[in-house]
Amino acid sequence: MKKRKQSVSKEEAHIISSTTSTKTSGENSGQIPVEIIHDILSRLPAKSIARCRVVSKDWGFTISCPYFADLFLKMSSLSPCLLFTFHAEGKWSFFSSPESMLISDQKSSSVAVDSLSHVPIDYPFRVCVPACGLLCTKDEWLLSGKKYARMMICNPSTGGFKLLPKVKSRRRRVLTYLGYDPVEKVYKVLCMTSCERPYIQKAEQHQVLTLGTEKLNWRMVDCPVSHYPRPRESEICIHGVLYYLAVESGSWETSMCMIVCFYIRSEKLKFIVDEAFKDIKSPSTLINYKGKLGILNPNKSGFTGGITNGFELWVIDDIEKRTWWRHIHIFPPLWDTLVAQIRVHIVGATGDSEIIVFSPSVVSNPFYIFCYNMETKYIRRVKIEGFGPVTGQNIYTFLNHVENVKLIT
């Protein structure tokens, strides 16, 4: 993992001196048990942990142990973040804000984001939906135009990153997803090469890579159904299962929609196909709806003020029995007033699944996101400040991001 030299703030230095002094002031003074030190440190921001890690070998060892990483993740999952990321001026930048700021009765408000980290990379790319605090770049070969571009795993909270081995393929495009299994506590990257000829679109050579192994290698997995992931669609990982939308191989505009389930632990692919899914339009967004797979489906081709008037929420009640329900949400008149002609897309739903967030795909000045409460039918606009003098860049906005101090190996 690449590391960047960090400085320690006065507050962090006070915590360090307070805890280390008990270890060096003599036997009779006593020592703070390591469990208490872990508990204290787990309440610091991830940026502070990254800086404290380089204070000394002892501190580096204490903070790097798996027990502390799990404890920190458990604490941070109680306060998920709204994450923004974009590529500009030769670097991949990350900004965040507490998700709690989305809960307000004000029609309009502003929020200053916190700069998390910057990763050097000299070409544009797409980004997978985060999985348990980590991100993976996506479709790099297609967008960068570089023959030997490689995918990258990154931890936005610490700035740590790692290049992945080149995928074995002669195809120009590789489709990528990142998933996490909470039982085995393992991250896996699923990728598939893409055959894209006129009237023929097909995913081929499904491969998986497990992070944290001594030697990173891609290995083939069987795929029982020929399919092609729907373009511009998001994915989501829920309880160790990675879900994404796809169509039967062929033209994605005319083929029937299906839900693909990739089980992280067993590395098996399963498919949910039903005639009713033909009504799921593109682009749709997958969400975690109270522990179940949810699909937010626009009632028209996009979410621009004056063009659309709402969306559908599909919830898959039982994956195995293939039962679901759907509900139509109609925007209040205030939607057209606030959004006007800004073209936005659905980011997702907050952890309690009540607030739906919409965001533009390009950085602008001013930059707004929009929050719709499905319970109260109330909509509000939030001005995001703190990106700096950047405009025109593709921006990726994610909900329910958790800070993670895990080292990428």
How do residues 355-397 score in pLDDT, each as one tens digit? 999 999 999 999 999 999 999 999 999 999 999 888 999 999 9
C-alpha–C-alpha distance, residues 193 and 207, integer Å: 9
β-bridge pairing 285-289 and 292-298: antiparallel
The pTM score is 0.86
C-alpha–C-alpha distance, residues 391 and 364, integer Å: 5
Under a CB-based contact definition with an 8 Å cutoff, are residues 379 and 331 in contact?
A: yes
CATH topology (fold) of 77-401 = Neuraminidase (2.120.10)
How do residues 91-126 score in pLDDT, each as one tens digit? 999 999 999 888 776 767 899 999 999 998 887 788
How do residues 42-88 score in pLDDT, each as one tens digit? 888 887 887 777 777 887 887 888 888 888 888 888 889 999 999 99
Q: Report which of residues 156 and 39 the model is more confident about.
A: 156
Under a CB-based contact definition with an 8 Å cutoff, are residues 329 and 315 in contact?
A: no
Domain-wise residue ranges, the chain: 10-74, 77-401
pLDDT at residue number 25: 42
The two tokens of residue 225 are: 């159904």
pLDDT at residue number 318: 87
Q: Which residues contact 327 (CB under 8 A, 6 or more apart)?
A: 312, 313
pLDDT at residue number 141: 57
How do residues 265-274 score in pLDDT, each as one tens digit? 999 999 998 8
| 250-276 average pLDDT score | 85
Helices (runs of H) and strands (runs of E) counted in the chain: 7, 27
Among the residue ranges 202-206, 257-261, 347-351, the one predicted with the least confidence is 202-206
Query: Do you know the residue count of the chain?
Result: 409
pLDDT at residue number 145: 59
How confident is residue 28, by pLDDT bands cut at 50, 70 and 90?
very low
Q: In what order do the strands lie in the sheet with 186-197?
A: 173-181, 186-197, 200-210, 219-220
How do residues 225-242 score in pLDDT, each as one tens digit? 988 888 778 899 999 999
pLDDT at residue number 320: 83
Peptide bond into 120 cis (omega under 30): no
Provide the mean pLDDT of the chain: 83
Q: Report which of residues 10 and 40 the model is more confident about.
A: 40
pLDDT at residue number 2: 43
Most trustworthy range by pLDDT among 6-15, 93-102, 225-234, 333-342: 93-102
DSSP state letters, 180-239? EETTTTEEEEEEEEEEEETTEEEEEEEEEEETTSSS---EE---SS-EEEPTT---EEET
Q: Report which of residues 400 and 40 the model is more confident about.
A: 400
C-alpha–C-alpha distance, residues 350 and 345, integer Å: 15
pLDDT at residue number 30: 56
Q: Which residues contact 117 (CB under 8 A, 6 or more apart)?
A: 47, 93, 94, 156, 157, 158, 159
Task: Give how far Cα 139 sits from Cα of 202, 213, 226, 298, Å.
Answer: 15, 23, 20, 25
| 256-262 average pLDDT score | 91
pLDDT at residue number 316: 92
pLDDT at residue number 285: 92
pLDDT at residue number 199: 57
pLDDT at residue number 274: 85
C-alpha–C-alpha distance, residues 2 and 160, integer Å: 6
| Percentage of the residues of the chain whose pLDDT score is greater than 90 | 41
Most trustworthy range by pLDDT among 191-200, 260-269, 386-395: 260-269
Q: Compute how many other C-beta atoms are within 10 angstroms of the C-beta atom of residue 378.
A: 15
Task: Give how far Cα 298 sits from Cα of 248, 259, 338, 353, Å.
Answer: 21, 17, 18, 17
Does residue 263 register a pLDDT over 90?
A: yes
What is the dihedral sign for C-alpha 261, 318, 321, 348?
negative
The two tokens of residue 37 are: 């030190």
Under a CB-based contact definition with an 8 Å cutoff, are residues 257 and 230 in contact?
A: yes
Under a CB-based contact definition with an 8 Å cutoff, are residues 310 and 328 in contact?
A: yes
How do residues 140-181 score in pLDDT, each as one tens digit? 555 555 666 678 899 998 888 999 988 877 666 788 999 999
- Provide the angle, in degrees to the nearest 10, between the axes of the packed helices 34-41 and 66-76: 40
pLDDT at residue number 64: 80
pLDDT at residue number 26: 43
